[in-house]
Amino acid sequence: MFIRSFVSSLARLDYHLRLTRSGCSTLLCLLVLLSPCVDAMAKQSDKAAATLMDMRSAYFRDQSGALQDMLPTIAGHPLEPLAAYWTLKSRLEEATAVEVQAFFKRYSGSYYEDRLRNDWMLLLGKRQDWVALQAAHRAFRMNDDRDITCYEWQAQLALGQAAAPSASPLITTKTLVAFWQQQTGRDEACLGAVTQLLRLGLISPEVVWTRARDAAMWADKEAFIDAVALVEPGQRVLATQLYNNPQAFLNTRKAQPKKAAGNWLSVALIRLTMRDYDAVMDVLAFWLPYLNADQQTWVNATVATREAMRLDNSAHTRFATTRNDQLSDTQLEWKVRAALRAADWDSVLQTTRDMPLTVAQQPAWVYWRARALTSVHDGLRNERNTGLATQLLKRIATPDNFYGQLAMQALGQAVTARRPALAPSHSDERAVKKNPSLRRAVLAFKLGLRSEAVREWHYGIALHEPGGMPNGQLLAAAQWACKLAIWDRCINTASRMSKPAGSRLLYPMPFKHAVVRKAKLRQLDPAVVFGIVRQESRFVMEARSGVGASGLMQIMPATATWTAKKIGLSGFSLGQLNEQDTNLTLGTSYLKLLLDDFQASLPMAAAAYNAGPSRSRRWRGTEADSPTLEAAIWMENIPFNETRGYVQRVVANTVNYAARITNKPQTVAKHLLPIGPKDQTAPAQDESLP
């Protein structure tokens, strides 16, 4: 209807332009002619936008009938593929293959074609319709769903397309097991694949018990029960009882401990370790003799990991009794962290050497291995080790992450504001602005369909073509996003470039005047505030977290209310949290209170901003035997994965923003003063800080 209206207006335009030869002003005719048309199109656009928002609401309420009624009014709209996806996805269980194929054809090449194909294949996999699944899989572009890979392998096996021992040269047993181990909760697709691997003798029961131990350790009840049921058919009830109450499970077997199966005992002790550390310490010495050597290692490794996460100095001693080749990736990481706290560089060096390659190549472990090479005290500190350490540091040196900045500092390099390594060509810019996915994403952003827009944008830059967009187009897309003030997509897109994107795109400074003014009012470094905002919200004003934090600085309602009262902000209401000025006022005020409370330590204040002041205080240590650590070691030992990464990114962000704001070289060392128990001469802590 939009196109027909516009074509009709063009016909009228041609007629009226011919009248200009009779003395009518061309401009006047254009204004007179197009004004009704523009008004009509604007009203149609507003109506379509309102309908799309109604359809979104209906989709999340599972109102399939309402969606079908509204869909015709979106016909011809650029976001019709989205509306059609909502409509068909809401009733996909009842849809026919003909309807699905018609959708694929009508919206061929779009994100929503491939999104529905992904959903359709998951449904086909559950139905074990292997022929239809393979037919759909051949056209699957995103190829980023582990469940689909597990279903595809089962399809190949069921249809006899490859010999059972290998099933597919592209989908290995190792891949399937890894996918299964990475999933959380109930996982029908990869669980089904592993069930077949076990039946065919391609994996041993011990692989399944490893999954059960990991699930017991990380509190994944469904995964634990499913794994145990694979190797102990008919024992789901017992597995559930063990998971829910491991102490009771152990108590009922204490009278005849020799009759208890070692695998069951080990998972019970592992589960109890993570649930009640004190309780497991009461019974550990009794039960360990009834386990074989491997089972003892698994239990001791779990206890050591729990101690390391509690920042208990005994973790390092217990880890020393374990063999690296029997530890999980996560346990190896915690073994290194415990060794760092104990300043045992020999253990750091050996454990980082023994890590699987995919883990060992992560910047954190490359950096600590390099540090260990130059810090061991057994005569190995020599020119060869120093040279190898330098090579490792050069491999990870970059201004764009915390360990990269540490490596730069060790190499004598500073962080500076950078220009892009290349400029987008005109053809790159044209290609980006003509890209259907990006155009739909931009319109969705404008209509307030943020989550849908983010997914469509990501598909356009990363998934539509194998390997994603080339560098020139990524740069053009990032620049376009920044120009449109879609800051999170600007940063995300620039971050995907294999060549440096430049500081202006990676570290933009929207609202600069307001941020700098608020920071100076509270005697804060503006770079710190920008570092927090970039990590918290990516400058999305309407951002809201899953736990209720709001606005640029992602402030929790209780924290906002407390801070407003503390600084005397009269008339404050929670409805103001998404207002830029109020959010910055409260966020910078709270950040200043945290920095004052933690003696200007950015890592401790950032940890408190993310996880709460009481946790940050506990992690710094309160006992006399708590060590004073390098800030980088303290940060690496933060028990929460989210908070650890958060603090490291805030510090790295701050260094980059300081380089931009001051236009002077910066190093991360400025923010890394040693961290330990609070100095008794320091001012008393504000225990009321939320």
141 closest CA partner among 431, 459, 461: 459
Neighbours of 245 (CB within 10 A): 16
Mean pLDDT of the chain: 92
Q: Is residue 548 part of a domain?
A: yes
- On the 0-12 / 13-18 / 19+ scale of CB atoms within 10 A, 57 is exposed
Whether 247 and 265 have beta carbons less than 8 Å apart is answered as no
302 closest CA partner among 213, 420, 418, 375: 213
The pLDDT assigned to 421 comes to: 79
The pLDDT assigned to 625 comes to: 75
Sign of torsion over alpha carbons 146, 151, 157, 162: negative
Q: Is residue 588 part of a domain?
A: yes
Q: Is residue 67 part of a domain?
A: yes
If you count them, how many residues does the chain have? 690
542 closest CA partner among 485, 471, 618: 485
Please write down the long-range contacts of 371-378, taking CB distance under 8 Å and 24 or more positions apart. Answer: 371/345, 371/410, 372/345, 372/346, 372/348, 373/349, 375/345, 376/345, 376/346, 376/349, 377/345, 377/346, 378/346
Sign of torsion over alpha carbons 456, 457, 458, 463: positive
The upper half-sphere exposure of residue 41, i.e. CA atoms within 13 Å in the direction of its Cβ, equals 15
- Co-location of 469 and 520 in the same domain: no
Out of 113, 232, 307, 536, pick the active-site residue. 536
Whether 269 and 299 have beta carbons less than 8 Å apart is answered as yes
SS3 assignment, position 587: helix
CA–CA distance, 458 with 469 (Å, rounded to integer): 10
Q: Interhelix angle for 557-567 vs 580-597, to 10°?
A: 80
CATH of residue 437's domain is: 1.10.1240
Residues 130, 136, 140: CA angle, nearest 5 degrees? 130
Residue ending a domain, choose from 102, 128, 154: 128
The residue with greater pLDDT, 267 or 258, is 267
Residues 490, 491, 492: CA angle, nearest 5 degrees? 95
Give per-residue pLDDT as tens, 353-362: 999 999 999 9
- Co-location of 541 and 630 in the same domain: yes
Give per-residue pLDDT as tens, 525-573: 999 999 999 999 999 998 888 788 999 999 999 999 999 999 999 999 9
- Co-location of 561 and 655 in the same domain: yes
489 closest CA partner among 524, 451, 523: 451
Q: Which of 179-188, 484-493, 554-563 has the lowest mean pLDDT?
A: 179-188
The pLDDT assigned to 1 comes to: 41
- Co-location of 635 and 535 in the same domain: yes
Q: Is residue 470 part of a domain?
A: yes
The pLDDT assigned to 379 comes to: 55
395 closest CA partner among 367, 433, 423: 367
- Co-location of 522 and 626 in the same domain: yes
Give per-residue pLDDT as tens, 71-124: 999 999 999 999 999 999 999 999 999 999 999 999 999 999 999 999 999 999
Is-catalytic flag, 536? yes
CA distances (Å), origin 213, targets 181, 361, 502: 11, 26, 45
Q: Is residue 255 part of a domain?
A: no
The pLDDT assigned to 509 comes to: 98
Neighbours of 350 (CB within 10 A): 17
- Co-location of 462 and 583 in the same domain: no
The pLDDT assigned to 208 comes to: 98
The pLDDT assigned to 423 comes to: 87
CA–CA distance, 288 with 581 (Å, rounded to integer): 60
CA–CA distance, 444 with 488 (Å, rounded to integer): 15
- Co-location of 440 and 575 in the same domain: no
DSSP letter at 629 equals B
Q: 543 lies in which domain range? A: 514-671
DSSP 429-449: HHHHHH-HHHHHHHHHHHHT-
The pLDDT assigned to 546 comes to: 79
Rg (CA), the chain: 30
CA–CA distance, 240 with 236 (Å, rounded to integer): 6
* Identity of the residue numbered 183: Q
SS3 assignment, position 555: strand
Q: Is residue 50 part of a domain?
A: yes
- Residue 398 above 90 pLDDT? yes
CA–CA distance, 462 with 495 (Å, rounded to integer): 12
The secondary structure of the chain in percent helix, strand, coil, rounded to multiples of 5, reads: 70, 0, 30
- Residue 489 above 50 pLDDT? yes
- Co-location of 532 and 602 in the same domain: yes
What per-residue string of b and e applies to 595-604 under the rule 16 or more CB within 10 Å gives b? bebbeebbbb
CA–CA distance, 383 with 41 (Å, rounded to integer): 74
CA–CA distance, 276 with 640 (Å, rounded to integer): 18
- Co-location of 527 and 596 in the same domain: yes
The pLDDT assigned to 149 comes to: 97
Sign of torsion over alpha carbons 48, 50, 51, 55: positive
- Co-location of 659 and 528 in the same domain: yes
DSSP letter at 544 equals B
Give per-residue pLDDT as tens, 221-254: 999 999 999 999 999 999 999 999 999 999 999 9
Residue ending a domain, choose from 478, 501, 524: 501
CA–CA distance, 592 with 560 (Å, rounded to integer): 14
CA–CA distance, 526 with 517 (Å, rounded to integer): 8
How many independent structural domains does the chain possess? 3
Please write down the long-range contacts of 640-649, taking CB distance under 8 Å and 24 or more positions apart. Answer: 640/611, 640/615, 642/610, 643/607, 643/610, 643/611, 643/615, 646/535, 646/606, 646/607, 646/610, 647/603, 647/606, 647/607, 647/610, 648/401, 648/402, 648/403, 649/401, 649/402, 649/535
Give per-residue pLDDT as tens, 62-73: 999 999 999 999
Q: Is residue 245 part of a domain?
A: no
CA–CA distance, 398 with 402 (Å, rounded to integer): 9
The pLDDT assigned to 680 comes to: 82
- On the 0-12 / 13-18 / 19+ scale of CB atoms within 10 A, 213 is buried
Neighbours of 508 (CB within 10 A): 23
- Co-location of 519 and 664 in the same domain: yes
Q: Is residue 562 part of a domain?
A: yes
The pLDDT assigned to 377 comes to: 60
pLDDT band at residue 5 under the 50/70/90 scheme: very low
- Co-location of 552 and 459 in the same domain: no
CA–CA distance, 109 with 435 (Å, rounded to integer): 11
SS3 assignment, position 99: helix
CATH of residue 532's domain is: 1.10.530.10
532 closest CA partner among 458, 609, 480, 463: 609
Residue ending a domain, choose from 63, 97, 128: 128
DSSP letter at 496 equals T
